[in-house]
Structure 1
Amino acid sequence: MSPLLIILAVALAIGFMLVSIFNRFVRNKNTVKDAWSNIDVALKRRYDLIPNLVETVKGYAAHEQETLEKVIQARNAAMAVPSGDINQQIEAENQLQKTLRSIFALSEAYPDLKANTNFLQLQDKLNEIEENLERARRYFNGTVRENNTYGESFPGVLFAGIFSYQHFDYFEAEAESRENVKVDFSK
């Protein structure tokens, strides 16, 4: 075999390897973005539901205006995050999740609100959306894990900078939402 053919064969093998690595980076990034789009759909449904929920609560808990305003502010902040910034969106969603819990805490203080059929229907819709979000979050986190592992392991790590590797954050529940609910029957 002539040296020119050997050099050509090695160059082709290296070229195919580089193309394969580049394509894997692209595939991983697009899979993460696709997984995020599933979350984004559920988040938009939740954004649409929040004003109705706030208005329903407002009728029963008018003097809880500060709590309701915080929910609306968190919703608006989450909606204002640029659509391409997944990591910033995750942070805003965790903040919104915290404020939403405060609305349901209000329902415990107002028995009439807790019995309101409109509130119960909105709460059921929100629970359904949250379940969809949980499934989408699990899928998203799986795609993020695959993307990040490839970008941080061999041979991907060698070419991460060259091929514009993008690290994504996991979409995890805030530590507060993982705490057990305290139930007290002593009253």
Structure 2
Amino acid sequence: MKRSTMSLIIIGALVLILLFTGIGSYNRLVSSETDVDNKFATIDVQLQRRADLIPNLVQTVKGYAAHEKEVLTAISDARARLAGAGTPEQKAAADSELTSALSRLLVVVENYPDLKADAQFTRLMDELSGTENRIAVARKDYNDAVSVYNTKVRKFPAAIFAGMFGFDKKTYFQAKAGAENAPDVKF
């Protein structure tokens, strides 16, 4: 009888250890996944802030550079694609396209000294510059959170519970291929 009681105690202890390990792993995965979602929402907020600044910037430029319609149209189109993007991959591609269009706008602005001296344009460009910095920080924070989460999903013993409960790897916020190259602007 003593031997069977001891066996039951050992089996019970092992079950409790597995149970608490599973609960702990699950809770850490949930916390990490929530952090990733939060960081992605921060990117969204900053991208929306930039998208909200762009119509004012475009209107200001239109007054000085009405014949630069192609660049202004590209900005509007890229902004619309960013607003409709849902996944990190779609947002990264749309963000890259918008960044490229804004770069072309800055090249156009160089041809209009009066525009560069305009107080509203200067204020908008300062706000846009600050927003671009916030976006860069938000992207880095998101990618850091994804790295931590993906590591947890792959490490033992959490990998067992991640598979059981549907915790999949997250994707990084990456610029599309070629984004490191300056845009080709032709006049």
In the superposition, the TM-score normalised over structure 2's length comes to 0.85
1:64 corresponds to 2:68? yes
Contact 1:148–1:168 (Cα < 8 Å) also in 2: yes
- How do 1:90-169 residues align onto structure 2 when only pairs under 5 Å count? 90-169=92-171
* 1:128 to partner: Cα distance: 0.9
Query: Any conservation in 2 of the 1:68–1:103 contact (CA below 8 Å)?
Result: yes
Q: Is the 8 A contact 2:22 2:158 kept in 1?
A: no
Distance 1:176 1:110, change over 3 A: farther
Q: Indicate the structure whose relative CO is greater, using CA pairs within 8 Å and at least 6 residues apart.
A: 2
- For the pair 1:39 / 2:46, whether they are aligned, the reply is no
Q: Identify unmatched segments of 5+ residues in structure 1.
A: 182-187
Deviation at 1:73, TM superposition (A): 0.9
- Partners of 2:110 and 2:159 in 1: how far apart? 52
Residues 46 and 131, structure 2, Cα contact 8 Å, conserved in 1: yes
The number of equivalent residue pairs is 179
Deviation at 1:173, TM superposition (A): 4.6
- When the two chains are superposed, the root-mean-square deviation of aligned CA atoms in Å is 2.1
What residue is the counterpart of 1:185 in the other structure? none
- Segment drifting more, 102-111 vs 49-58: 102-111
When Rg is computed on C-alpha atoms for both structures, the one with the higher figure is: 2
Instruction: Quote how far apart the aligned CAs of 1:32 are.
Output: 0.7
Identity across the alignment (%): 38
Alpha carbons 1:71, 1:96 under 8 Å: kept: yes
The worse-fitting range, judged by mean Cα deviation, of 155-164 and 117-126 is 155-164
In the alignment, the residues of structure 1 paired with residue 120 and residue 113 of structure 2 have an alpha-carbon distance, to the nearest angstrom, of 14
Q: Which runs of 5+ in 2 are unaligned?
A: none
What SS does structure 1 have at the residue aligned with 2:164? coil
Q: CA deviation at 1:7?
A: 1.1
Match of 1:3 among 1, 7, 31: 7
